[in-house]
């Protein structure tokens, strides 16, 4: 068996075998200079992760060498993540976190990579043991990754072991977005949600699926909705936990920064207030990445800088993360949160993932005209909890809507049990 290897800039072995067994890492094919023509670009190759000890030692050193700023001058989080919180993050990351545990968990699943439109796409593909399982492609967002979806794989593919029936089973495909995780980093312009959706259609076709559904939140929603607009052969419906449903009059009022329009219901008033706060206080990260992603060199150089940038995504997620590092039991653990940041660090994808904000020209929360059957799960601590009245207008073929009592932006990660139940209910009519 012939193997071509190179080293990427952090010293990771990047290997490709003509026989199909692949080694690790980050840009698993982009770094290969020789032998590439011999690899079938449409092939699906097994993928295995192994981070060299030297890379973990370097990470540890950088965490300990963090140069800390002075303490915030307010008692709350209005200036951002508190110094105390980030020092607790650093202490756990340096002394308590076990990347090898995360690595083993990932390697216990079937990982693959395949080239689509010139970019290597990494994905997890778990088939149910139950015949007739419904295939579903699940797309993460930012600052998430495939780690967001690990907790739902068991309940979806093996429902009889998690309170469901064999009729609830799914085959699950979980890709890493281009420029994220173990997928390749696009070297051409144009990798926006529309192009990614086209790649996902190719992926599902390449896997042999002739009938499937799609799910996503955050960027995963943007990609999933564009997939629905493409209506590729086989796609029969979608689900999202962060719908694009804000009516035009509401969007105009938010842009003007004024009070909510008159006549809103209680649910609509709550959603307006959530969006108004986010537009005025929470869009800094998105604006920077949408306009100047390459400027974020510090994120590629400082693990603590990267963690702080990722943890300050939205106010309710930041509050949850703060509680976690204060020792409060939550849907997410310290291990969960640091696994995800470590994945970004080790794959050197802080800047490449940010470019998706620069590439996309889609209005994030505006209805897109999806006409396929659509299901919506509205979690209370999402950026906004979409009211049914808005959702019904945005998705004329609404097959499921539910307002959940608990959960936020990372629903599958934080509330996997309720999320799995939502998937079973949402797609029951499409089986």
Q: What is the pLDDT of residues 371-418, one digit of tens each?
A: 999 999 999 999 999 999 999 999 999 999 999 999 999 999 999 999
Whole-number Å distance between alpha carbons of 385 and 180:
27
Whole-number Å distance between alpha carbons of 126 and 208:
14
Task: Please state, as a whole number, how many other Cβ atoms lie within 10 Å of the Cβ of residue 8.
Answer: 18
Q: Which of 34-48, 210-224, 374-388 has the lowest mean pLDDT?
A: 34-48
Q: Which of 63-67, 127-131, 258-262 has the lowest mean pLDDT?
A: 258-262
pLDDT band at 258 (very low <50, low <70, confident <90, very high): confident
Whole-number Å distance between alpha carbons of 317 and 322:
9
Structure confidence at residue 39 (pLDDT): 57
Longest dimension (CA), the chain: 70
Residue 124 CA neighbour count, 13 Å, CB half:
25
pLDDT band at 225 (very low <50, low <70, confident <90, very high): very high
Chain-centre distance for alpha carbon 321: 17
- In the residue annotation, 218 being an active-site residue is answered as yes
Residue 27 has pLDDT above 90, yes or no: no
Whole-number Å distance between alpha carbons of 217 and 213:
14
Quote the mean pLDDT of the chain. Answer: 91
Q: Average pLDDT in the 326-346 region? A: 96
Whole-number Å distance between alpha carbons of 352 and 357:
10
Q: What is the 3-class SS of 342-390, one letter each residue?
A: HHHHHHCCHHHHHHHHHHCCCCCCCCCCCCCCEEEEECCECCCCCCHHH
Q: CB–CB of 181/347 below 8 Å?
A: yes
Q: Considering the candidates 218, 276, 312, 314, report the single residue annotated as catalytic.
A: 218
Q: Average pLDDT in the 45-70 region? A: 98
**Which residues lie below 8 Å from residue 27, measured CB to CB, with a gap of 6+?**
8, 14, 120, 184, 185
Structure confidence at residue 387 (pLDDT): 98
Identify the CA nearest to 281 among candidates 249, 321, 313.
Answer: 313
Q: What are the C-alpha distances in Å from 293 to residues 146, 349, 391?
A: 22, 12, 32
Domains defined for the chain, CATH in brackets: 101-248+364-430 (3.40.50.1820)
Task: Please state, as a whole number, how many other Cβ atoms lie within 10 Å of the Cβ of residue 221.
Answer: 24
The predicted model scores a pTM of 0.91
Whole-number Å distance between alpha carbons of 26 and 9:
10
Structure confidence at residue 152 (pLDDT): 98
Matching residue, tokens 């390749």: 184
**Which residues lie below 8 Å from residue 108, measured CB to CB, with a gap of 6+?**
none
Structure confidence at residue 25 (pLDDT): 47
Structure confidence at residue 42 (pLDDT): 83
Structure confidence at residue 203 (pLDDT): 98
Any alpha helices (H) in 96-218, and if so which ranges?
A: 99-107, 150-157, 193-206
Residue 21 has pLDDT above 90, yes or no: no
Identify the CA nearest to 339 among candidates 66, 7, 92, 122.
Answer: 92
Q: Average pLDDT in the 273-287 region? A: 94
Q: CB–CB of 122/112 below 8 Å?
A: yes
Residue 30 has pLDDT above 90, yes or no: no
Q: CB–CB of 299/350 below 8 Å?
A: yes
The separation between the first and the last C-alpha atoms of the chain, rounded to the nearest angstrom, is: 43
Residue 35 has pLDDT above 50, yes or no: no
> How many percent of the chain have pLDDT more than 70?
91
Q: Considering the candidates 212, 272, 357, 384, report the single residue annotated as catalytic.
A: 357
Whole-number Å distance between alpha carbons of 170 and 157:
5
Q: CB–CB of 7/14 below 8 Å?
A: yes
Which residues lie across from 122 on neighbouring strands? 113
CA dihedral for 292, 313, 387, 215, sign (positive or negative): positive
Instruction: Name the 3-class secondary structure at 399.
Output: strand
**Which residues lie below 8 Å from residue 131, measured CB to CB, with a gap of 6+?**
none
Matching residue, tokens 């949600």: 193
Rounded to 5°, angle at Cα 341 from 64 and 356: 130
pLDDT band at 40 (very low <50, low <70, confident <90, very high): confident
Whole-number Å distance between alpha carbons of 246 and 228:
18
Structure confidence at residue 52 (pLDDT): 97
- In the residue annotation, 357 being an active-site residue is answered as yes
Q: CB–CB of 122/111 below 8 Å?
A: yes
Structure confidence at residue 154 (pLDDT): 98
pLDDT band at 430 (very low <50, low <70, confident <90, very high): very high
The DSSP code for 294 is G
């Amino acid at each position: 068996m012939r193997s071509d290897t190179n080293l990427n800039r952090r010293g990771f072995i990047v290997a490709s075998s003509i026989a199909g067994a692949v080694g690790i890492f980050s840009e698993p094919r982009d770094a290969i200079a020789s032998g590439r023509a011999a690899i079938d670009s449409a092939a699906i190759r097994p993928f295995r992760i192994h981070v060299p000890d030297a890379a973990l030692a370097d990470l540890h050193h950088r965490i300990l060498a963090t140069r800390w700023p002075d303490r915030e001058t307010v008692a709350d989080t209005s200036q951002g993540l508190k110094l105390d919180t980030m020092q607790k993050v650093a202490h756990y990351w340096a002394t308590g976190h076990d990347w090898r545990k995360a690595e083993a968990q990932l390697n216990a699943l079937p990982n693959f990579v395949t080239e689509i439109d010139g970019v290597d796409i990494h994905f997890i593909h778990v088939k149910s043991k139950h015949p007739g399982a419904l295939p579903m492609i699940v797309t993460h967002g930012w600052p998430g990754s495939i780690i967001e979806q690990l907790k739902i794989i068991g309940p979806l593919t093996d429902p009889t072991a998690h309170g469901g029936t064999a009729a609830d089973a799914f085959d699950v495909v979980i890709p890493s977005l281009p420029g994220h995780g173990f997928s390749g980093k696009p070297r051409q312009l144009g990798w926006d949600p529309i192009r990614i959706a086209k790649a996902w259609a190719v992926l599902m076709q390449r896997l042999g699926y002739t009938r499937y559904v799609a799910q996503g939140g955050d960027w995963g929603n943007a990609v999933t909705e564009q997939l629905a607009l493409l209506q590729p052969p086989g796609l029969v419906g979608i689900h999202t936990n962060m719908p694009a449903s804000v009516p035009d009059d509401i969007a105009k009022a938010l842009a003007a920064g004024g009070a909510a329009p008159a006549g809103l219901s209680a649910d609509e008033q709550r959603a307006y207030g959530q969006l108004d706060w986010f537009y005025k206080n929470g869009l800094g990260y998105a604006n920077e990445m949408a306009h100047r992603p390459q400027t974020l060199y510090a994120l590629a150089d400082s693990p603590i800088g990267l963690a702080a940038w990722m943890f300050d995504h939205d106010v309710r997620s930041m509050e949850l993360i703060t509680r976690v590092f204060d020792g409060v039991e939550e849907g997410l653990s310290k291990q969960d949160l640091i696994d995800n940041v470590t994945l970004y660090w080790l794959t050197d994808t802080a800047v490449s993932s940010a470019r998706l904000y620069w590439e996309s020209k889609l209005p994030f929360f505006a209805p897109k005209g999806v006409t396929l059957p659509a299901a919506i799960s509205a979690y209370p601590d999402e950026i906004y909890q979409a009211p049914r009245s808005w959702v019904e207008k945005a998705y004329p073929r609404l097959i499921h809507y539910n307002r959940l009592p608990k959960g936020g932006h990372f629903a599958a990660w934080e509330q996997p049990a309720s999320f799995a139940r939502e998937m079973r209910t949402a797609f029951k009519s499409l089986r």
